């Protein structure tokens, strides 16, 4: 594992500003392969890689730093081949110090660069939370709008498989509470490409929450989504499946759970609408409200803990707003168990919401008796 030295902000800025020019018309190998005839799918890992590749080529101010992102191609290979293509000046291996390299990245953003700061897992970002919130999120406000911090903090978030309590936390609700941050959580390959490009181009600090389990999943992807200028607006949800009986709202891997549950619900003649939030701050309440007005029932799904979760925020917003009078039953939340994540495989599965848990919640919401 190769590490860069402890670079000051001025040295990083100098090395990036004087970087060599790249062919801006060239797209990544993954993107080119997806555009080729006969290949209409792209997994999330390659979608992220292609977005990073194209943004590095488009804007010389963009650079990536983090542990093992360069010569090792990233712990999850999201940055594969980028160091070979762009070199030490644009893809930087750091020492194992989240607080240190996050601080360097924030300083570089204040100096006019556009860093992409990778955490090997968001659990390790707890070491850097002071820089994310007190430095990145608050500087625009504290400088009266004079100092922007265009930075993306990204990496895998939430439960993976068999990584126990200290590596399975969902940080979505944590960061979604903080003004000054934008928080996104992609589900599909289209989400990954469009949201990451938007995040890198945004002048605000963006917390970009990926999921390790989703990295290798292939998704259908359109030619439009493979365009170099394809952007998904931060703060706009997507209706993954239209329905008329109940609204299921989730994000990241939870969307997959909702889609699986929707298929099971069809056997009960229940037509579920599935909303992929994509963005946790801001939350697209308008899309949820319009769905609730149609289905009259709402269930939120997330892998994180129930206390102060995204589902809690959505529930409060709906109850306090215009959609409350359209509800025919109480809002229900399906969440992870309120315990540190167990290591044992069977207990881990019980601690995370499964499709059958969502189906049970829908049965309760719609008063459908068990056979």
Which residues are CB-neighbours of 209 under 8 A, at least 6 positions away? 122, 154, 157, 158, 171, 172, 175, 183, 184, 185, 252, 280
298 by DSSP, 3-state: which?
strand
- For residue 131, indicate whether it is catalytic: no
Beta bridge partners, 279, equal 184
Distance CA 209, CA 198 (A): 14
The two three-digit tokens of residue 85, written as one number? 């293509």
The alpha-helical segments, DSSP class H, found in the chain are 9-17, 29-35, 44-58, 82-86, 98-110, 129-130, 139-142, 172-176, 189-201, 253-266, 285-295, 310-320, 345-351, 355-366
C-alpha dihedral sign at 8, 9, 10, 11: positive
Tell me if residue 98 is catalytic.
yes
- Exactly one of 167, 212, 302, 348 is catalytic; which is it? 167
Place of tokens 């707890």: 126
- Active-site residue among 54, 98, 118, 190? 98
d(CA 207, CA 172): 9
Q: Do residues 355 and 349 make contact, with C-beta atoms less than 8 angstroms apart? A: no
Pairwise CA distance, residues 40 & 27, whole Å: 17
Maximum Cα–Cα distance across the chain: 69
Look up residue 28 and give its DSSP letter.
-
Q: Using CA atoms, how far apart are residues 334 and 93, in angstroms rounded to an integer? A: 39
What residues are annotated to the active site?
Answer: 98, 167
């Amino acid at each position: 594992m190769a590490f860069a030295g402890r670079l000051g902000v001025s040295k990083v800025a100098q090395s990036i500003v004087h970087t060599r020019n790249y062919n801006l018309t060239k797209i990544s190998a993954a993107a080119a392969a997806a555009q080729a005839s006969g290949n209409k799918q792209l997994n999330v890992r390659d979608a992220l890689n292609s977005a990073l590749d194209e943004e590095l080529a488009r804007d010389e101010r963009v650079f990536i730093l983090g542990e093992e992102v360069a010569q090792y191609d990233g712990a999850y290979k999201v940055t594969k081949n980028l160091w070979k293509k762009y070199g030490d000046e644009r893809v930087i291996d750091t020492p194992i110090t989240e607080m240190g390299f996050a601080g360097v990245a924030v300083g570089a953003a204040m100096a006019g660069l556009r860093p992409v700061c990778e955490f090997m897992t968001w659990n390790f970002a707890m070491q850097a939370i002071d820089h994310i919130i007190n430095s990145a999120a608050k500087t625009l406000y504290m400088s009266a709008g004079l100092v922007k911090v265009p930075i993306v903090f990204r990496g895998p978030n939430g439960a993976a498989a068999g990584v126990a309590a200290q590596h399975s936390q969902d940080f979505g609700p944590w960061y979604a509470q903080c003004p000054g941050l934008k928080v996104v959580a992609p589900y599909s390959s289209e989400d990954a490409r469009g949201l990451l490009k938007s995040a890198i181009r945004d002048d605000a600090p963006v917390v970009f929450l990926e999921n390790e389990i989703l990295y290798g999943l292939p998704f259908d992807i359109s030619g439009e989504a493979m365009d170099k200028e394809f952007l998904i607006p931060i703060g706009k949800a997507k209706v993954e499946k239209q329905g008329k009986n109940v609204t299921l709202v989730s994000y990241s891997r939870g969307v997959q759970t909702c889609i699986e549950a929707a298929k099971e619900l069809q056997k009960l003649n229940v037509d579920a609408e599935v909303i992929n939030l994509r963005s946790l701050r801001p939350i697209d309440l308008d899309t949820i409200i319009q769905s609730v007005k149609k289905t009259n029932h709402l269930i939120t799904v997330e892998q994180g803990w129930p206390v102060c979760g995204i589902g809690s925020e959505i529930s409060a917003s709906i109850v306090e707003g215009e959609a409350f009078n359209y509800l025919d039953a109480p809002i229900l939340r399906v969440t992870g168990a309120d315990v540190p994540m167990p290591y044992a495989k069977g207990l881990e599965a019980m601690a995370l919401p499964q499709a059958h848990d969502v189906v049970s919640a829908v049965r309760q919401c719609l008063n459908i008796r068990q056979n």
